[in-house]
Structure 1
Amino acid sequence: MFDHVVFGVSDYEASKTFFIKALEPLGVEVLSEGPLGVELCHPDGNSSLCIRRVEETPAHFHLAFTADSRDQVERFYQAAIAAGAQDNGAPGLRPQYNSNYYAAFVIGPDGHNIEAVCHEPEA
């Protein structure tokens, strides 16, 4: 649905480091970096996440990433917490959304709610 998402962060280096570490288990890598910020993408993906330097504190938002497996969700959560995120919902089923909605939620450096979700049944 999206080609790319662009958002500003108040502490560019902290946010860049956080997203690189937290999204590594999902196969996301740095595509490019320049004076405006960094672009992250799955190597064979068609969409990207762009983090930009801004002076003001950005408004909070929710950003969910697709995971291929429940193990990826768990590895995302562990990597995000190790990168300094706050817990906002440990890995687990969220049957209120659907019977196979397996997700983890963390709060990133700027207070954004970052999620990894797998819609596949347990292997």
Structure 2
Amino acid sequence: MVERGSPLLVLTALHLSGMWLLPLYFWRTRRLERRARGRPGCLKAFRWISRRSVLLMTWWADLPSAQGWLQDEGHRAYLRHAGAGRHVKGWVELYQPLPVSLHLGARGAPALEEAAP
């Protein structure tokens, strides 16, 4: 359940079978990050690259703007291209961050036993 008016994190992830694909997906992810920053409702965009993984994390002001990003033609083409090859596995996840007071390590955060439903 997504609370109305709370920010959302959309994680777009690629796992590459080898490092030889990394330059190609680095530049494609950079273009996608710039495209996300230009959309209304985007609060922040950040890409993270490792040897065989490429992550694009985008924070959105609300659910409609996050859904708009998921339906964006550039975003869909990025995932479609990644899924077309057998050397790349791509997926998308949508998260609603916890309130700051519930993050582990935060001052006054409940114990794990108390936080579990």
TM-score, structure 2 normalization: 0.36
**Greater fraction of residues in helix:** 2
**Greater fraction of residues in strand:** 1
Greater gyration radius: 2
TM-score, structure 1 normalization: 0.35
